[in-house]
Amino acid sequence: GNSVTQMEGPVTLSEEAFLTINCTYTATGYPSLFWYVQYPGEGLQLLLKATKADDKGSNKGFEATYRKETTSFHLEKGSVQVSDSAVYFCALYTARQLTFGSGTQLTVLP
Amino acid sequence: DTAVSQTPKYLVTQMGNDKSIKCEQNLGHDTMYWYKQDSKKFLKIMFSYNNKELIINETVPNRFSPKSPDKAHLNLHINSLELGDSAVYFCASSPTGSQPQHFGDGTRLSIL
């Protein structure tokens, strides 16, 4: 079946630090890949997406590249802010279903 | 002009009761979903409807029954609530299955 494995949290960083959250997947066919973000007390919001190999999704300073050879979609940001504190979910879509990773809690300290 | 709205936001009730959660989307999307998020933030799909037709029905107890009166609404009815049903339930919608989903703010269900 399809699955998404995310790096376990929580992750705590100082403001302006570099962020990487690892995500690898197992899927049949050619899934679309997503990162969603969930701020406290809110629903999930799409952060970025990539629909085919070597695509790079980017938004709000976050980036992730669809790597088919390593089945990965790692999330990166060069300089995090306190306002980036949230839970980040990697997800894949295939066979009419969106499958989420377990989420990674990020806390950014001033 | 909330895109995906769920009511109520909080639901506290006794074990054994029956309750419903409503969801409406004003985005004109064809596909709607219900997810359950447990205390460890793990998200699991429960149901998916496309134009009022059930297309995904994951392994959930049959105490959970979705109802879609029209393509803008997908309600979730839960019979005989149990302690293990305590969670946050999210409704979502998308134009088609492959497009990004838009989520509501969730309904936090607590069973006493």
For the stretch A16-33, pLDDT in tens is 999 999 999 999 888 999
Task: Give yes or no for residue B56 having a pLDDT over 90.
Answer: no
Are the beta carbons of B43 and A34 separated by less than 8 Å? no
Sorted by sequence, the CB contacts under 8 Å of residue B59 that are 6+ apart come out as none
CB atoms within 10 A of CB B50: 19
Q: Does B42 touch chain A (CB under 8 A)?
A: yes
Distance from CA of A41 to the nearest CA of B (A): 7
Q: Which helix (H) or strand (E) holds B40?
A: none
Are the beta carbons of B105 and A32 separated by less than 8 Å? no
pLDDT digits (tens, 9 = 90+) for B65-106: 999 999 899 999 999 999 999 999 999 999 876 788 899 999
Contact (CB, 8 A) for A56 and A64: yes
pLDDT of amino acid A94: 85
Task: Give yes or no for residue A47 having a pLDDT over 80.
Answer: yes
Task: Give yes or no for residue B1 having a pLDDT over 70.
Answer: no
Q: Does B70 touch chain A (CB under 8 A)?
A: no
Contact (CB, 8 A) for A109 and A12: yes
Sorted by sequence, the CB contacts under 8 Å of residue A77 that are 6+ apart come out as A18, A19, A61, A62, A63, A84
Q: Name every chain B residue with its beta carbon within 8 A of the beta carbon of A38.
A: 41
pLDDT of amino acid A1: 83
| C-alpha to C-alpha distance for A48 and B13, rounded to whole angstroms | 37
**CA geometry: angle A45, A18, B43, nearest 5 deg:** 30
